Amino acid sequence: MIKRIFLAITVLFVLNMHLSAKTQKETVDSGLKWLRTQQKDNGSFLEYPAITALCVSSFLKNGFTEEDPAVKKGVEFIIKCAKPDGSIAVDNMGCYNTSICLMTLFDTKNPKYAGIIDNAREWLKKTQVGADGSVESIDKFYGGIGYDSHMKPDLSTLQHALEALKETTSSDNVFMAPTSGKNSDKETFERAIFFLSRCQNVKATNDQKWAGNDGGFVYSPDGESKATGSKSYGSITYAGLKSFIYCSVDKTDPRVIGAYNWIKDNYTVEENPKMGAQGLYYYYHTFVKAFKAMDIKSVKDSKGVDHPWAKEMSEKLNSLQNPEGYWVNNAERWWESKKELATAYALLTLSYCVE
């Protein structure tokens, strides 16, 4: 009798495991299906350009094209947000919105958006501290970009801007770098290195008094950390690492090595290191992009355990998906309690987990 009960329990357990197991494609399809139901009549998601762009890119990065109705409507909304000065925004956070929207328009691979893309790139570069020559490199905020051009520069916004500029100059795509008569991308990236170095806890290369020496990053060169004090934390350290790579800093550079060592010491897909659940999906999104930029397929942590990060991330996101298809973060900070944003981050993250 006991053996029969044990056998029945075992069969049920195995059956449940089989039924609950999802392929990544099934996870993505379910997420995109849910996302379609959230699009507004005007093509937006949450009436916000950057969130709309992230949602649209979720489709584009997972195999859809502009022929898809959700993509087409979303792109139309983004285009309507483009301003004569080159920015792509509505009321605020011009640099953040422009960076995200710029990447999405580029992802369409549609040449008819070349003018908007070119204007957005030029506007974005002009918002960098020091671009107009009025601020010298001795200024701690030199090379930075803020959510708006009048706001304090921060590493989170800068990493989006650098990624947007880097991605939209790829020679194997339909859009090429701007003509030589315009502001140089090279100078933008060179200025950014000053800012990045001043956000890193590496005394040898950071001239700010608050700097520690663990190799991780903080939010801003004035020592501000979202993890309190001047403490290094996960999402922003991945952002700093990938930004150094975008700026063509060599992988053997002590700053890159320091950041990567911090990541190995704090590797996890369970939380945003030093932040817990706060900014978790932003962390996941930045996590995969950093490893792709570094061209690393597995990570050996400080205990010598090897982690195939794409597999681990895919499995983690599979487990976090709601049965209805969306993802959500109960930690409300940084809008991740908004299902559309968390779902877009998750779907974009999964697009980088495909071998």
Q: What is the pLDDT of residues 151-210, one digit of tens each?
A: 999 999 999 999 999 999 844 445 544 443 445 799 999 999 999 999 999 999 999 999
Q: Give residue 22's pLDDT band: very low, low, confident or very high (50, 70, 90).
A: confident
Which phi and psi angles does 88 have, rounded to 5°? -125, 95
Cβ–Cβ under 8 Å, residues 299 and 307: yes
pLDDT beyond 70 at 13: no
Task: Report angle CA 46, 51, 53 to the nearest 5 degrees.
Answer: 125
pTM: 0.91
Asked if 49 and 83 count as a contact pair (C-beta separation under 8 A), the reply is no
Give the DSSP letter string of 16-83: HHHHH---HHHHHHHHHHHHHTT--TTS-STT-HHHHHHHHHHHHTTT--TTSHHHHHHHHHHHHTB-
pLDDT at 9: 42
* Selected residue with higher pLDDT from 150 and 226: 226
**pLDDT at residue number 149:** 81
% of the chain beyond a pLDDT of 70: 90
Pick the residue with more confidence: 13 or 129?
129
Name the more confident of 334 and 64: 64
Report the distance separating Cα 252 and Cα 254, nearest Å: 6
Average pLDDT over residues 317-341: 95
Closest CA relative to residue 126, chosen from 86, 155, 89: 86
Average pLDDT over residues 258-269: 98
